Amino acid sequence: MEKKNIDPEIIEKANVWLNGNYDAESKNAINQMIENNPQELIESFYRDLEFGTGGLRGIMGVGTNRMNKYTVGMATQGLANYTLRMFPDLDQISAVIAYDCRNNNTFFAQITADVLTANGIKVYLFDELKPTPELSFAIRTLKAQIGIMITASHNPKEYNGYKVYWDDGGQLINPHDVNVVAEAQKIIDINEVNFKGNRTLQSSIGAEIDKKYVAAVKSLSLSPEIIRKHQDIKIVYTPIHGTGVKLIPMALKEFGFKKVFDVPEQSVVSGNFETVKSPNPEEPEALKMAIARALEIGAGLVMASDPDADRVGIAVRDDKNEFVLLNGNQTAAILIHYLFTKWQENGLLDGKQYMVKTIVTSELLIDMAEKFGIDSYDVLTGFKFIADIIKQLEGKKTFIGGGEESYGFLVGDFVRDKDAVSACAMIAETAAWAADQGMKLYDLLKQIYLEYGFYYETLISVVKKGKEGAEAIQAMMVDYRNNPPKSINNSEVITIKDYQKQIHFDLKSKSENKIDLPKSNVLQFFTADGSKISVRPSGTEPKIKFYFGVKAPLDKIEDFDLVHNQLKDRINKIIESMELHSSFE
């Protein structure tokens, strides 16, 4: 591709960098792309990084569509401008900054700190890598107005990111997210960014916050006496090179578990994630070494957190004593069942408790809440919406717990984001509680299905990279919206929920009802046989996601494998009927 064939707007954006107050290294990289790699130039400049469900996230490199000093600086200047405007009466506005194990983590953290302090904002900067949930906790503890987490969560090593939090400890939601982006977009000249930090406004924090945070996690325990009886259950935990390396073993120890084993190779902090293809606990390969370690020492529970320790994946022993990976819906079911049961047994339920899940997470959690007389709320995908419900109900009702199918869980409300530290501790406690009844976690899952019905869910993602991929994903959503399927797997579509239009269509009665949630590019199809299919583009990755959920009665434990296979076959037929296999790259 020659330069003359590149969109003039992209050339113009590149020229702004070439002629502006940018460093020589960046300018050289742009010239190299123009001469030798015009496609990379397009990918680097065809758009500006935007805040999605996970904030600012992108591949590190030169350009407006990349994570670098300048995109981070402009975002931070916009954030500073907005924050100063929103808190005009405070004598001193403050921010907390944390970072995970990513490459360039401290560089981006210090750039962020410098821009904030240059604008008169006091900064509390963690002295070493910390989990995302601890940042949320620190914002609330230090009564800061904003927080920034330098992380790209579970993305590949080429990525970095920038999550922004408000004074409640939750990620930015409307109108703050839109307004911060608008402020950043007003900055059209890099000279408008003040990079000259005021180090007198920067303070280091660390161990004192760790201590308070772990104490808060310990306060969640509902069965300390049961842990004492089963303190020797063997647990293998891996941080997958990330921030959970210190605090999750610390929390497990505080809970009373005596035999927590690590995976030495994966306890090495590294942004290159040398031992895995992807540092994502949703991926079976990411838990492979931990499972091998568990087999070696005879452990019954494996837990893995992602790089910023806000999500956790687990593996448990099945009927054949072999390890199986639980998906996020299954882990959520086990954890929520335990929380509800113990709250009831401990006499803590008074009708003012509630649970929150996302719209693509298993309906099983709603059924559980109804049985225990606990209120439940469905929110859009993104834990920031769960945090918003907690904020709205603060002082009125008590949040027990909640989560999302993408391996994010939260117990208690002192953190306002998903929290692998507390989740690991409470999952371990659930395992001890099950052991006290002569069960493994796998047995407990079966008991839940026996009581509520066998819910089976799965997810597939169609990856579409780059500018062309983004356009293809948008075209797919437009087609599903304008030409929705009349039937799926030979079962009539009876309900469509369009969260972009905020309309619930009942196709049987031909009626429409308003969906009382913010607009979001999500479609859900419900069929006559009880199947649920959700479609949404990812807010943080170049992919479109399809969520499938089906259900059938489980009359007796002995039928578990039979019903499991029937439901699995049903979902495979749904996928075939939607012709999704041919979409994979």
Domain tally for the chain? 3
Q: Is the Cα torsion angle 402, 407, 411, 415 positive or negative in sign?
A: negative
Please check whether residues 404 and 518 belong to one and the same domain.
no
Q: What's the mean pLDDT in 100-111?
A: 98
In this prediction, residue 416 carries a pLDDT of: 98
In this prediction, residue 181 carries a pLDDT of: 82
Q: What's the mean pLDDT in 379-395?
A: 95
Mean pLDDT of the chain: 94
Kindly give the interhelix angle for 420-436 and 441-452, rounded to the nearest 10 degrees: 80
In this prediction, residue 582 carries a pLDDT of: 39
In this prediction, residue 400 carries a pLDDT of: 98
In this prediction, residue 584 carries a pLDDT of: 34
Residue 41, in any domain of the structure:
no
Please check whether residues 464 and 385 belong to one and the same domain.
no
- Catalytic residue (one of 44, 153, 422, 534): 153
Residue 233, in any domain of the structure:
no
Please check whether residues 411 and 458 belong to one and the same domain.
no
> Given a cut of 60, is residue 279 above it in pLDDT?
yes
Please check whether residues 102 and 194 belong to one and the same domain.
yes
Residue 76, in any domain of the structure:
yes
> Given a cut of 70, is residue 77 above it in pLDDT?
yes
In this prediction, residue 45 carries a pLDDT of: 94
Residue 115, in any domain of the structure:
yes
Strand order in the sheet with 398-404: 375-379, 353-358, 398-404, 408-411
CATH number at residue 160: 3.40.120.10
The residue with greater pLDDT, 99 or 173, is 99
CATH number at residue 570: 3.30.530
Helix (H) or strand (E) holding 296: helix 288-297
Domain boundary, last residue among 418, 445, 464: 418
d(C-alpha 369, C-alpha 401), whole Å: 11
Owning domain of residue 461 = 454-583
Please check whether residues 382 and 493 belong to one and the same domain.
no
Tell me: the pLDDT tens digits for 499-522? Answer: 999 999 999 999 999 999 999 999
Residue 470, in any domain of the structure:
yes
Name the one residue in this structure whose structure tokens are 């939750």: 170
Residue 399, in any domain of the structure:
yes
The CB-side HSE value for 25 (13 A sphere, CA atoms) comes to 5
CB 140 within 8 A of CB 169: yes
In this prediction, residue 574 carries a pLDDT of: 95
Q: Identify whether 487 is a catalytic site residue.
A: no
Domain boundary, last residue among 395, 418, 441: 418
In this prediction, residue 3 carries a pLDDT of: 60
> Given a cut of 60, is residue 2 above it in pLDDT?
no
Please check whether residues 82 and 188 belong to one and the same domain.
yes
Q: What's the mean pLDDT in 244-254?
A: 98
Tell me: the pLDDT tens digits for 466-489? Answer: 778 888 899 999 999 999 999 999
Please check whether residues 193 and 74 belong to one and the same domain.
yes
Residue 256, in any domain of the structure:
no
Please check whether residues 480 and 528 belong to one and the same domain.
yes
Tell me: the pLDDT tens digits for 209-233? Answer: 999 999 999 999 999 999 999 999 9
Please check whether residues 358 and 465 belong to one and the same domain.
no
387: tokens are 């945090």
In this prediction, residue 1 carries a pLDDT of: 46
Domain boundary, last residue among 181, 207, 233: 207
Q: What's the mean pLDDT in 528-541?
A: 88
76: tokens are 């931070």
Q: For residues 57-96, b (16+ Cβ closer than 10 Å) or e, as one string?
A: bbbbbbbbbbbbbbbbbbbbbbbbbbbeebbeeeeebbbb
Q: What's the mean pLDDT in 178-185?
A: 85
Q: What's the mean pLDDT in 342-362?
A: 97
d(C-alpha 428, C-alpha 407), whole Å: 16
In this prediction, residue 583 carries a pLDDT of: 39
Please check whether residues 461 and 567 belong to one and the same domain.
yes
Q: Is the Cα torsion angle 84, 86, 90, 92 positive or negative in sign?
A: negative
